[in-house]
Structure 1
């Protein structure tokens, strides 16, 4: 972590902590650094984020390993979708609604193209940078394959679970589409 100067804690939870930081040197670019415990789940999150090169998925700039932690270096964003909606209100106009929801849907389609089920799509996991909305936090994401086309483990935020998750039935990428519908309702009403 010698490469970065930590400025402040942006968030803290069961996953770990997120800091704002400045890169040392002349440029001094600001970044977000997610600190998680070094374990297979953290490594998988970094692996999934490394799969994507898409404008609606938060890019992974680099990973740093300093046991017992793994650090994911990410672009610093202004806020999450929930904070944006609380500050700006619902996106009731067709063009403003479509502009937000379309970006989330396009990012989700890219995940699904790679067989990745996000499993925790919610306003807090959609970040805004300028006019761009990006999927973030792949901590509970999982990949489906031809050998394993359905998932059974419960993960994510229960209020955004699909009916099959609540019934404890096997599921696939469709659970993310259910969550997208709920997020779209949040965007339209301004209330999660």
Structure 2
């Protein structure tokens, strides 16, 4: 039997981490300068470097919405974006939604309508619902908006479900989440 030996190959070169650098973010209205490698996600920067553990790591693929935060008021999945991409921006996490000791209208509505069970998805749901109410107040339409000419659009249950579709709740609290968002919208309108 003729056996040949494979030629010896050297090990691939070690991949060195990129040097860390300061990244300036305003998180929940407080300035932060975090020393980060460029490959650190915003989610990991918030949890591991800023010490804000309210934002949850669910799927780490942008499919569940547990990591939803607001970047300059716009909702994003923090697991899908690098922290350096948001340098100089204002980031709001679930810890920043309350107004001092007073809960935000959406936080209060989630409690009143029992819009959570295990609570793992709740931080992302709250941030997403906060952005939903802001978008709605601005008159931004969604694919579920019945009449895009109507100002303001009607916030129906279908509209809420569509606008919250980026956030999954494995416990199935969806009806209560829809009720909480509708109640918060009525509360902010004063009706």
Task: Say whether the fold is shared (TM-score over 0.5).
Answer: no
TM-score, normalised to structure 2's length?
A: 0.30
TM-score, normalised to structure 1's length?
A: 0.30
Which structure carries more strand by proportion? 1
